[in-house]
Structure 1
Amino acid sequence: MRRSKEVWEVNPYKERILNGIIKENPTFILVLGMCPTLAVTTSAINGVGMGLSTMAVLILSNMIISLLRNIIPDQVRIPGYIVVIASLVTVVELILKAYIPALYDALGLYIPLIVVNCIILGRAEAYASKSTPLLAACDGLGMGLGFTIALTLIGIFRELIGAGTFFGMHVMPESYQPVAIFVSAPGAFIVLGALIAVLNGLHIQNNGNKKVEGCAGDCCSCGKAACSDRKEEQKMESQGV
């Protein structure tokens, strides 16, 4: 019993990372950030680029907002969060423009639109503003990895079926006829819906709970500190808030 408790005290960081990748994947489970998910995933490299850019902003914004959580007044917390996020997005945009111009051109308008990505502002309000900087950084890392994995998977399927390539390399037989619809808007919806259906069929959200030692998968009856934010969310949902 004592050993289990000691393991759990180390595991909140692991739980935060796995939470974003599996249990609360922002794309496949929470279905957030659909604008860049559907728009930029015409290729796998675009998905990786957008995912990593968003992850960098998530980690840094979570850390900064956590550090400033006792300084920013409640009345202006949302504008304050947006200023922090917008500043970080500007830095990321300038770095991409300077060092990876091809990716910058491919992502285009969707880089500055990271500022209004509901995943980033949502994690700032729901978690970073109530947690320590290290836990907030792990939360941003988990959510960012989950978002990157989701965008990369969607990009791989769309690029493979719609163009016959994999990360820009031609891998399909010469006789293969690309299905052009998969690199257009309808193809994005088709691939996203199919992947969500597969993951739901595998019960990925429930199985993800088992990957964190000490978690039984029932957040409502869990008394562990790392689950307190999820318990509060479920309480609000049950009250219709």
Structure 2
Amino acid sequence: MCFVPKRFSQGLRMRQVDLMEDGVASSSKTLSKMASVMRQVCCRAINKLRSRGKMRVGGRHSFVMLDESKFSHKRKYNRGRIGPAWRRSKKWVLGILEISQTTRRPVLKIVGGRSKNDLMPTIIRHVRRGTSIVTDEWRAYRRSLVEEGYDHHTVCHKRHFVHPTTRAHTQHLERAWQTFKTDVWRHRGNRTTKLLKEHLRVIEWEYWLARNHRYDILGRLIHDIRKFNVHEFN
């Protein structure tokens, strides 16, 4: 078990057969259970941070990008195959990415749709008013962000990826989507809504907590394992 946190902190990018050959575990079922426990450790830590109201982004020295994407298939705009468990559950993930000189901090929330009523409550909860926000020209953002006290900039992706005058763009978040989706798909984390939520929490945990730890990701993981009773997890 002592090797599990180290492998998890490295992203568990090795195949399960390689992990079994290295003696980490004797079966695929055991490895899956170990990974599940590690995810729950991370989820508990990030949920505690959120419950304290500390997962808020934006401010004077940073700006925020917003976008929505689907993790139930491998391409945006409904292209590509849909996983069998998601055929009737076409939910979107709202991505909120804070960009500052030194950090990139994401907030990733599953939402029921792309309407104003689906998106704005999450934005208001996590983005400080007065923040400069960059989005595409999706109609749910029109007037809504300005009415809520945000400095709203847009870019029309049908014409250009970077606005020719304001230089506004969402390229940081577009690149982040590729990284996040690759990680989720590698671990088959989009098979159910519950599993996707766990993997999104782990991504948040890495950027909000683990990367700021003095001993990096492994150090933060060991800290959270010590803090919580692993036997409490399902």
Give the alignment's TM-score, normalised by structure 2.
Answer: 0.32
Higher helix share: 1
Higher relative contact order (CA 8 A, sep 6+): 1
The structure with the largest strand share of the pair is 2
Task: State the TM-score, normalizing by the size of structure 1.
Answer: 0.32
